[in-house]
């Protein structure tokens, strides 16, 4: 009886110790290999109105204003440019596209997002949509990274990898949905120059050009 009682007392002490240790944790424990720190993608839109010419297009002064606005935004890859033009003028679209081309971007032909207010007569609204990505709460060292009874991951687990991923992806939209394929593989794109060289006709295929000098006879 004493032996059995001693075993029961020991088991009760172990259970009490486990309950006490579990009560020390104030945050949910992550016992999986999936980090609780994930990239968060945010979208911001910027609006700029320009005056258009009567027959469409932009005057040189308006093109300079638009270029200055793009420069102030530090326009870069991943930014999406859309246009809200009530007249649907091809000349206006071409002028805006030409200015955006200085930054290596093209105007997206998709419908422009809904914005506050309305576009005044004789004007066109240009919108730049920019997405950013970050990992909130990182770094997170609120928990000690020593041995744990429940074998949980560190509170900072995943911060470095996911923060680097959010910083390295050029187009942050790709973190939400992947890039759509263009129908060509990387190999097909990289061998275009080689195929063009191989398919070019030899320089001597049409025969050698005759050469000579012209001048007055003796």
Q: Please give the pLDDT value at position 22.
A: 43
99: in domain: yes
Average pLDDT over residues 200-206: 75
Going by pLDDT thresholds of 50, 70 and 90, the confidence category of residue 98 is: very high
Going by pLDDT thresholds of 50, 70 and 90, the confidence category of residue 18 is: very low
Q: Please give the pLDDT value at position 211.
A: 61
211: in domain: no
- C-beta separation of 71 from 44 below 8 A: no
The model's pLDDT over 30-45, given as tens digits with 9 standing for 90+, comes to 888 889 899 999 999 9
For residue 214, pLDDT beyond 80: no
Rounded CA gap, 35 and 157, in Å? Answer: 6
215: in domain: no
Provide the domain limits for residue 60.
43-131
Going by pLDDT thresholds of 50, 70 and 90, the confidence category of residue 210 is: low
Q: Please give the pLDDT value at position 139.
A: 92
For residue 153, pLDDT beyond 70: yes
DSSP secondary structure string for all residues of 141-179: -SS--S--TT-PPPTTTTHHHHHHHHHH-SSGGGGTSPP
85 by DSSP, 3-state: which? coil
Rounded CA gap, 179 and 144, in Å? Answer: 39
Rounded CA gap, 66 and 50, in Å? Answer: 7
- Residue from 62, 60, 61 nearest 48 by CA: 62
59: in domain: yes
11: in domain: no
47: in domain: yes
Q: In Å, what is the CA distance from 185 to each residue of 161, 182, 190?
A: 28, 8, 9
Mean pLDDT of the chain: 80
119: in domain: yes
Q: How many domains does the chain have?
A: 1
Average pLDDT over residues 107-127: 88
The model's pLDDT over 64-90, given as tens digits with 9 standing for 90+, comes to 999 999 999 999 988 999 999 999 999
- C-beta separation of 149 from 21 below 8 A: yes
Query: Where is average pLDDT lowest: 57-66, 95-104, 187-196?
Result: 187-196
68: in domain: yes
Going by pLDDT thresholds of 50, 70 and 90, the confidence category of residue 144 is: confident
């Amino acid at each position: 009886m004493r032996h059995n009682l001693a075993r029961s007392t020991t088991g009760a002490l172990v259970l009490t110790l486990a309950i006490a240790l579990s009560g020390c944790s104030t945050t949910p424990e992550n016992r999986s290999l999936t980090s609780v720190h994930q990239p968060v993608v945010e979208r911001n839109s910027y609006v700029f109105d320009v005056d258009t010419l009567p027959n469409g297009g932009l005057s040189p002064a308006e093109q300079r204003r638009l270029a200055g606005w793009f420069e102030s935004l530090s326009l870069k890859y991943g930014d999406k440019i859309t246009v809200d033009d009530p007249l649907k003028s091809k000349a206006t679209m071409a002028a805006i596209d030409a200015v955006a081309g200085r930054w290596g971007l093209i105007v997206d032909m998709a419908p422009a997002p809904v914005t506050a207010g309305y576009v005044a007569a004789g004007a066109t609204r240009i919108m730049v949509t920019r997405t950013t990505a970050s990992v909130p709460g990182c770094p997170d060292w609120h928990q000690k990274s020593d041995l744990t009874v429940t074998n949980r991951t560190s509170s900072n687990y995943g911060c470095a990898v996911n923060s680097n991923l959010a910083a390295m992806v050029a187009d942050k939209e790709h973190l939400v949905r992947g890039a759509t394929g263009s129908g060509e593989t990387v190999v097909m794109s990289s061998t275009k120059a080689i195929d063009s060289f191989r398919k070019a006709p030899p320089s001597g295929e049409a025969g050698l050009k005759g050469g000579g000098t012209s001048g007055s006879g003796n």
